[in-house]
Structure 1
Amino acid sequence: MKLLIAIIMMLTAVAASADTGSAKKKKGKTVEIYGHAYDAFTKGKLAPFITLMGSDSTVIDTVTCYASETRSFSWYNFIVPRIEAKYILKATLEGYEDCYVDYELKDMGRKYQMEIPRILMKRKDDEGMRNIDLEGVVVTGTRVQIAYKGDTVVYDAAAFNLPEGSMLDGLIRQMPGAEIKDNGDIYVNGKKIDNLLLNGKDFFKGDNKMMLDNLPYFTVKDVRVYHKTSEKSELAGREIEKKDYVMDVSLKREYARGYIVNSEMGAGTEERWMGRAFGLYYDDHTRVSAFVNMNNVNEDRRPGGDGEWKPSDMPRGLLATRQTGISLNTEDKDKSVNENMNVSLTWKDADNVMNRMSETFATEGNIYKGSSSASRSRNFNFNISNGLFLKKAGLRLYTVVYGGSSREESSQRDSTSGTQDMNSINRLGRSKNRHVSISQDLYWFKELKWGDCLSFNLSGYYFHGKPNETYGSSNIFYSAAGESDKRNTFSEAVSDKYSYYGEAEYTFVLPSRWRMGSGLSYRQEYGRDRNSHYRLDLLGDDRYEEQWLLPSTHDSLMSVLDAGNSRFVSTMERDFRAVLRLSRNSDNGTVNITIPVKRTDERMHYMRMALDTVAQRSYTAFEPYASIYTYGKNPISLRYDLDVFQPDFLNLMPSTDDRNPLSVRLSNPSLKRRTRHKGSGQMTFTNDSTGASFYVGFDFLFLHNAWGTRTTYNSFTGAYTYMTDNVNGCWSGSLKGGWQCPLDSRKRFRIDFSGSVKYERSVDFGVAYDTDADVLSKVTNIYTRLNGKLSYRRGLFSAALVSKLVMRNSRGNLDNMYGIDTYDYQYGGNIQYTVPGTGICLATDINMFSRRGYSSGKMNTDDIVWNAQLTRSFFKGCLTAKLQMFDLLHQLSNVRYVINAQGRTETLYNCIPRYIMLTAAYKLVKKPKKK
């Protein structure tokens, strides 16, 4: 609590000092009046010269309207005395008739901003066909890869050397300071991008890979990174909450109207294949796109990159994906109504093989386990979302329908040993499930006449999981006793859930742009789960052994019900929440201090074996939040969260899960709640004249009453018994930073360096032999990461030298845990060059990946990975042939390494084999006719 109070006082002091500085500049009470300017016919944004005059036409002030390059609006403002008055605004712009707007300032209440009616300008007759919504600039000389315009980072797509046929992901991977994770998350200067936009609008929101994998690079004009006004702030007409950190992909002007079609097909060795097609129609107010993507390469990285091919980053297993989708975004000419709909269908066929070695730290000698598994799964998912945005009504509606099904077959072999061999086990499994969910969210905002605000939020959710069926067959051999335990099982799970939520908040307008909001909310959630487990081996019929068959009658099935591991649960949860929020939002930054108090009442009907009971519990949670963000040229962010996690009510009920006799799980009715303190901060500095940027940041995490695992090991059978219990002493902290800048005046050479150091203190219960002894295992981990890149670019030639280092240093308090120091390092480079006169583009990368310090000698390796690609376009760029060669030296593998207070694990997964693939890509561009 002292930490929370200190952080809140610090943030308040920072904000107060900023207010004091600004207050000194103002004399008397003022109010901001602002407005927008558009073409009267097309409603396109304009940037006219605005003159503010009094009612007697006396000039008071002038300003040029700002037309956003990344968003579809323009904006201007004036600061005037806070008194009722009449004004005349005059707008002038070449090619347009002068426009006059009368405005009366009144009914201000406590408002600090007042909106002027839109300025709608008419074109002059002789300029009717002039293009007025210019979005490009004339560039002479060498193109600059990265530029800073206020709080916006601009990457010029034409300044990067990419092979023909590249997609958006290839461009972003080359951008200085940018990084794409395997799941599609994007980071710029160490900070995660909240949304990936296309021309300022959502495109399959929440799934970046849709655009990364399917938007052709040749359509992109530039990529901009900035802080974007949220939808709620757009409804309010001013900043009322933190802006989103977005990456906005702007299309070239020739693709702003018309349509494009881009397709590619290819086949290769090792039975590799791929195919995709992408279509986009775009005009001033509507965008429609559709795509199809199919491949079995489980890979989206390209030759000529920075060596992201290191084994620890390889995707797991073999994966064939088939995906299709459509996206629609449209708005009216007044930009007051916006509709955004996305539909996607995905089929995945995964083939995974895993080999694992683990060492568990124990009081009387470490325990070793080896395992191998193979699985084949087929999944289908669909996602339908629709967002309706009504600005004049202050209303936002968002609907999501999600569902799918899956089937999986698996096999597994395990063995456990300590001072001697304990057991071995063979397992076979088969499962299938189906599920569907629907959610609806409604948000309404209303600004009252005197400046205060009122908002409502209503949402609902429903989930239904059809019978999830799982068959399993296992054979355990106990070495010491020389006995076997063979089981054949069937499990069935059915679940239903619904919830609804309502919130009302009233916000008071305070001086100096401060706001104080108070809100009340209510949430109700009901869930019902039935889990039934059956021992088919007890039927005494060989037909049910590994044949995935069920008895023909219900009575026969019920006769082998494993009552001790079957249960029926229904829960009702009600939350009452009150919140007090103090905030200050402007174009330059946001301060937010949120103090919520939540009261939760839970009721559960629980049935298991002879136990049929109704349990209840209630608790109160205090989870404050404080943050400060600035959006200027050198942005700063500070954030602190206090989160309280209650144990799952179901896990507090007395139970023993022994479906797997080698892994028995006990409940713990005495388990306490877990409290997490989490904070972060980052500062970024940019220099427009040199094109350099630097960032530094920190993170910390502290857990009170963390959830550890008490583990007892049976030295005779090799079986484990687990129970979750509270433990203290877990915390972590990290420092990170990065620097990138050009090294010469022509900006041909560029250096990019980043690194981080993380200290992690992990505490858990040590594994005890044949006893419940309370032994704590304390492990200290230090993770160090360093990345360096030196790149050169001139004309059609680009090259880079890359180096990376990851160090893990671990020490523990147990006598049988020795120090562990592992090092993964990489060095290499890449080249891209288009041969003059031939049109042939060569892209290649070669990197050495080395590992040291692992317990298994097989993992201390040196792997040199070489990839190459040749590209050639024909028929004025309409047809592109591409020859891709992956892992030419056959060195790729996939290894994961994890160490914590319980032990360490080294895992090897299968991955795609080396292959050569030949593809052909075709593009068709249709532009509107010039009038």
Structure 2
Amino acid sequence: MKNLSLLAVLCLLTAALYAQSPPAATRFSLQGQAVDTASAPLASSTVMLLSAKDSSLVNFTRTGDNGAFSFKNIKPGNYVLKISFVGFIPYNQLIKPTGEAVIDLGPLKLKPITRELMEVVVRTAKAPLTIKGDTIEYNASSFKVPPGSTVEDLLRKLPGVQIDQDGNIRAQGQEVKKVTVDGKSFFGNDPKLATKNLQAEAITKVQVFNDKTEQAKLTGIDDGKKEKTVNLELKEEFKKGGFGKVTAGAGPASNNISTRFEGKGMYNKFDSKQQFSALLLGNNTNQQGLSFNDYQDFRGSNAFNFNDNADFGFSGANRYIYFGDDNESLTVPVGGGDGRGFSKNTAGGINYNYDTKKTKLSTSYYFNQTQIQLDAIRENKRYLPASASLRTTDTSNQNNLNTNHRISFRFEKQLDSMQTLVVISNGRLGSGNSNQQSLQRVFLNSGTGNEVQTTNSQSLNNSTTNQFAMANTLLYRVKLKKKGRSFGASATYQINKNDGDLLLKAQNEFYQATSVNDMLRSLNQDQGTNSRSSQYKANLLYVEPFAKKFTWESFYNFSLRNDEVDRDVVNLNDSRNRIDSLSLYYKNNYLFNRLGSSLRYSFKGLNISAGVAGQQFQLDGKFARDQGQPLQSIRRTYTTLIPNVSLNYSLKNNKSLYGGYDVGVQIPSSRDLQPVTSNSNPLAISRGNPDLLPQLNHNLSAYFNYFNPGSFTNFWANVYTTYYVNQIIYSQTVDPQTNIITIMPENLTGGRNLGTYLNFGFPLKKTKATLGLNTQLNFGHNLTRINSVLNETNNQNYSLGARLELTPKEWITFYGNANFSITDTRYSINTAQNQVIYNNSFRGDLNLKLPGSIYINTTLNYRTYKNERLNFNQQIPILSSSIYHILGSAKKAEIRLSAVDLLNRNVVVSQYAGQNYTSTESIQSLARYFMLSFTYNMRGVQGKIRRDGFY
């Protein structure tokens, strides 16, 4: 609680600084009306109040339908009033207090732009922000950040934009899906690569807008779908030469851990037609810049690639068909992971874009290598019928080394004004090895309250894997003579190869076994698996407008997927004799056809679509214990009718409403269908089920969004529900003698999920303080069969969050957030194990600028985890701080001293309640260390935070 008190003190200190202001009695109000030269009101004009001293933004609003505006409770001082409206010269007027409570400026006339006045417009158009409908354009120089800051730091300063601690972006209450640089992609479409690596100093404008889908761009007909997008516009001087920065740092060894080091460099060179970027990093401070998937045992990379909407169909969330396999993305992984364990990381890549009116080329290469050590303590409790339970403790040590090479290529050629050809290719070549030692102990509680140890298992897993994956797409689009009439065709080929080998050694003791031979089981196996998967896809789309407001859309999807797996398991204690019960060879052919059509009504922001599709899966599978044996067949045909209904309504005053119903289809994965046994975990054996049916998800959702660009108030509310038919769940059977769990998938109907999310953000004081509140409710009903008894698990999750952003002065900023989460879990077969889980987190970031170009940043992250049923209670305060100084007359260098986890308390903790189990996990991770680093900026940074002047 001492650390929580510290966070509270920081909040109070910053709030006190913010509250220091002259008495309210000395303040005044300002009002007026924006009109054109004919005295007609200019509704929705952007009105800004700037400080006359340094042109910093003090307040802003938009005019009403009559062109009127007002600012209230203004501190005494000199200001510049700026009014802007599209097609008119911005209006400027110096405002000085007169001693009156209200200053009424009356009608203020804006002059239309003419050729003669163009030069005047250029000199007067610079403003902190411009609002055009639902598009907001920020002038980056008006929102100052410390020298050397990234774009992510800049975005935190912008009204209406939020960045969470993982770097995820929300703008106007909605999640940002794409960030572009000068309208071009940057290392793919992941927002974080641009925001975390580009310098804020290079940006002149930040534009936030709703982008249309590719299909809407093709047809020219609004389909009601929007994608929140941020575009970063570079300064002209950064387009004329290279820019970037290099950082190198080191710190002393501590806690028997080797010397800390980190290095990172980035170089960019952009012009009007070309973009080139290079990135290189290396460290042992858990700064991965990679996805956590790169640490796992790879199981293939045949990711379902969206391929520029090449899979035509309904535009809802479930237009795609998922095959249920665990897939690794072909695109560049970013996100930083969760800092688990101790890792050494190396990554680098280059990105090149070429963009002209008729030709667009985007390509990149990315390499990453991660070595990670995980020392974990896990506890899993499974609830059985008759109030019985199994508790498993697992102490493990794991070392992974994974390497990946990724390439991406996209070429778009406008053949003429009507035709466009797109070629896309993404590939990944990877290799990895993993060594894991594990000690598991199993305790049985038969319902009497006393636990008895039944099993002791020691295992050693050594695995190696090599993967190759590639997805290639050819996309053709043509706009026909009639407006809105269009045709699209695509063809895709995907391939995935995965060769892996696992050496498994295990020593298992079963204390309650009835047979002497079962008292000790020794495993010494070599498990080799070679797999190959290929997929061919073809898609057609035809759009026909009629009756002005109506559009008819029809599509056809074809897919043929071939899987081949050869799994050989041999006993190393028996002259490498093959173990037939664990070995299998199988081939699967999936044939998929879907034909659908929909009718769309679109008029004045209202967009309604209703359609239906018929789809058929055909599975032709063959398997045998070995390739040389006769093959047995598994043949299935699944025919389903898929409805789709959606409503999008763009209301006036930046309000939008959505409602929709669709059906998602998930066919069983290859692993789940095949009658093969896997014992990679000797205490939890899994088997496939050839009788599985496809899973249907009936999804119903609705949301409402409101954003006021004048006050930057935003509100987002949504509700969603899903009902599962033939849900693929994993039933469990526990051996009464050995307590070994056998897991096998089966279909159950009746699972459901219901939830809602609310987010409300508003400025306490424009440009100075913003408060955001959110809450989420989720109610889940899950089914699982345990020892042939149906278990119903009900989860009720309640969460509440708040975020406070304070920027009272240029020399101080504070960002604080708090999140509270409660999960109430209840089980039908063992009500005595009902439990409540608490997960809470509190975070505060304080930034200070001191005289002499010295800056201080302090962060406190306090997390709590509690579960009284499991007697689990952890509090983890992480306090970090850094101080840095800008060097040299050119202000190109920075020296920084960082202290990470000053309290030496870092550990990664998680707890979870599943369908019939609860689990907790604790992983030792990098704790307290110190780092001295030096950064050199190729173009220099401003050592003084100032406000650029306005004409």
In the TM superposition, residue 580 of structure 1 has moved relative to its aligned partner by 0.3
Structure-2 change in CA distance of 1:135 and 1:582 (3 Å):
farther
Q: What SS class does the counterpart of residue 194 from structure 2 fall into?
A: helix
Match of 1:754 in 2: 774
Q: Is 1:809–1:821's contact at 8 Å kept on the other side of the alignment? A: yes
Q: Is 2:531–2:564's contact at 8 Å kept on the other side of the alignment? A: yes
Match of 1:782 in 2: 797
Where in structure 2 are the equivalents of 1:624-663 lying within 5 Å?
A: 624-630=643-649, 633-648=654-669, 651-657=672-678, 661-663=682-684
Of 556, 572, 594 in structure 2, the residue corresponding to residue 577 of structure 1 is: 594
Distance, in Å, in 2 between the alignment partners of 1:327 and 1:590 is 38
Q: What SS class does the counterpart of residue 218 from structure 1 fall into?
A: helix
Distance, in Å, in 2 between the alignment partners of 1:313 and 1:262 is 23
Distance, in Å, in 2 between the alignment partners of 1:503 and 1:441 is 11
Where in structure 2 are the equivalents of 1:294-333 lying within 5 Å?
A: 294-299=282-287, 314-332=338-356
Query: After the TM superposition, which of the residue ranges 584-593 and 640-649 deviates more from structure 2?
Result: 584-593
Match of 2:184 in 1: 201
Match of 1:12 in 2: none
Match of 1:458 in 2: 490
Distance, in Å, in 1 between the alignment partners of 2:371 and 2:764 is 47
Q: Is 1:805–1:824's contact at 8 Å kept on the other side of the alignment? A: yes
Structure-2 change in CA distance of 1:667 and 1:407 (3 Å):
closer
In the TM superposition, residue 239 of structure 1 has moved relative to its aligned partner by 4.5
Match of 1:809 in 2: 824
Q: Is 2:899–2:931's contact at 8 Å kept on the other side of the alignment? A: yes
Distance, in Å, in 2 between the alignment partners of 1:348 and 1:340 is 27
Match of 1:372 in 2: 395
Q: What SS class does the counterpart of residue 573 from structure 2 fall into?
A: helix
Where in structure 2 are the equivalents of 1:698-709 lying within 5 Å?
A: 698-709=719-730
Match of 1:345 in 2: 367
One-letter amino acid matched to 1:864: P
> Residue deviations 1:412-435, cap 9 Å, x none?
111101031111111111111112
Of 262, 271, 278 in structure 1, the residue corresponding to residue 245 of structure 2 is: 262
In the TM superposition, residue 361 of structure 1 has moved relative to its aligned partner by 0.7
Q: Is 2:486–2:544's contact at 8 Å kept on the other side of the alignment? A: no
CA RMSD of aligned residues (A): 3.3
Match of 1:763 in 2: 783
> Residue deviations 1:729-753, cap 9 Å, x none?
3212222112222223x54222222
Structure-2 change in CA distance of 1:902 and 1:495 (3 Å):
same
Structure-2 change in CA distance of 1:381 and 1:586 (3 Å):
farther
Match of 1:122 in 2: none
Structure-2 change in CA distance of 1:490 and 1:173 (3 Å):
farther
Structure-2 change in CA distance of 1:260 and 1:324 (3 Å):
same
Match of 2:520 in 1: 484
Is 1:711 aligned to 2:724, yes or no? no
Structure-2 change in CA distance of 1:358 and 1:164 (3 Å):
same
Structure-2 change in CA distance of 1:400 and 1:183 (3 Å):
farther
Match of 2:264 in 1: 276
Structure-2 change in CA distance of 1:263 and 1:648 (3 Å):
closer
In the TM superposition, residue 594 of structure 1 has moved relative to its aligned partner by 4.1
Q: What SS class does the counterpart of residue 743 from structure 1 fall into?
A: strand
In the TM superposition, residue 922 of structure 1 has moved relative to its aligned partner by 0.8
Of 859, 882, 885 in structure 2, the residue corresponding to residue 869 of structure 1 is: 882
Give me the TM-score of the superposition, normalised by structure 1.
Answer: 0.76
Structure-2 change in CA distance of 1:258 and 1:237 (3 Å):
farther
In the TM superposition, residue 250 of structure 1 has moved relative to its aligned partner by 2.7
Is 1:411 aligned to 2:447, yes or no? no
Is 1:914 aligned to 2:928, yes or no? yes
Distance, in Å, in 1 between the alignment partners of 2:503 and 2:924 is 25
Distance, in Å, in 2 between the alignment partners of 1:348 and 1:66 is 55
> Residue deviations 1:531-550, cap 9 Å, x none?
111111212xxxxxxxxxxx
In the TM superposition, residue 895 of structure 1 has moved relative to its aligned partner by 0.9
Distance, in Å, in 1 between the alignment partners of 2:836 and 2:270 is 55
Match of 2:613 in 1: 596
Of 339, 347, 363 in structure 1, the residue corresponding to residue 385 of structure 2 is: 363
One-letter amino acid matched to 2:273: H
In the TM superposition, residue 516 of structure 1 has moved relative to its aligned partner by 0.5
Distance, in Å, in 2 between the alignment partners of 1:751 and 1:136 is 33
Structure-2 change in CA distance of 1:652 and 1:233 (3 Å):
closer
**Residue correspondences, number:** 765
> Residue deviations 1:403-455, cap 9 Å, x none?
21111111111110103111111111111111222222122122222346342
Structure-2 change in CA distance of 1:707 and 1:762 (3 Å):
same
Structure-2 change in CA distance of 1:177 and 1:566 (3 Å):
farther
Identity percentage over the alignment? 17
Q: Is 2:596–2:611's contact at 8 Å kept on the other side of the alignment? A: yes
In the TM superposition, residue 889 of structure 1 has moved relative to its aligned partner by 0.9
Give me the TM-score of the superposition, normalised by structure 2.
Answer: 0.75
Q: Is 1:695–1:739's contact at 8 Å kept on the other side of the alignment? A: yes
List gaps (5 residues or longer) in structure 2: 1-84, 90-111, 254-258, 290-335, 446-451, 942-951
Q: Is 2:779–2:794's contact at 8 Å kept on the other side of the alignment? A: no
Structure-2 change in CA distance of 1:656 and 1:751 (3 Å):
closer
Match of 1:220 in 2: 203
Structure-2 change in CA distance of 1:584 and 1:695 (3 Å):
same
Where in structure 2 are the equivalents of 1:421-432 lying within 5 Å?
A: 421-432=453-464
Structure-2 change in CA distance of 1:683 and 1:222 (3 Å):
farther
Is 1:894 aligned to 2:911, yes or no? no
Match of 2:321 in 1: none
Structure-2 change in CA distance of 1:158 and 1:853 (3 Å):
farther
Q: Is 1:456–1:502's contact at 8 Å kept on the other side of the alignment? A: no
Q: Is 2:730–2:745's contact at 8 Å kept on the other side of the alignment? A: yes
Q: Is 1:461–1:499's contact at 8 Å kept on the other side of the alignment? A: yes
Structure-2 change in CA distance of 1:513 and 1:329 (3 Å):
farther
Match of 1:56 in 2: none
Structure-2 change in CA distance of 1:591 and 1:258 (3 Å):
farther
One-letter amino acid matched to 1:863: I
> Residue deviations 1:106-125, cap 9 Å, x none?
xxxxxxxxxxxxxxxxxxxx
Match of 1:112 in 2: none
List gaps (5 residues or longer) in structure 1: 1-62, 68-90, 97-126, 302-311, 540-556
> Residue deviations 1:531-572, cap 9 Å, x none?
111111212xxxxxxxxxxxxxxxxx4xx1111211111222
Q: Is 2:126–2:139's contact at 8 Å kept on the other side of the alignment? A: no
Where in structure 2 are the equivalents of 1:669-688 lying within 5 Å?
A: 669-688=690-709
Q: What SS class does the counterpart of residue 389 from structure 1 fall into?
A: strand
Structure-2 change in CA distance of 1:621 and 1:828 (3 Å):
closer
Of 430, 438, 443 in structure 1, the residue corresponding to residue 470 of structure 2 is: 438
Distance, in Å, in 2 between the alignment partners of 1:451 and 1:687 is 34
Structure-2 change in CA distance of 1:853 and 1:176 (3 Å):
farther
Distance, in Å, in 2 between the alignment partners of 1:95 and 1:209 is 43
In the TM superposition, residue 579 of structure 1 has moved relative to its aligned partner by 1.4
In the TM superposition, residue 353 of structure 1 has moved relative to its aligned partner by 1.8
Q: Is 1:213–1:300's contact at 8 Å kept on the other side of the alignment? A: no
Q: What SS class does the counterpart of residue 888 from structure 1 fall into?
A: coil
Distance, in Å, in 2 between the alignment partners of 1:470 and 1:852 is 37
Structure-2 change in CA distance of 1:215 and 1:427 (3 Å):
same
Where in structure 2 are the equivalents of 1:507-526 lying within 5 Å?
A: 507-526=543-562
Q: What SS class does the counterpart of residue 152 from structure 2 fall into?
A: helix
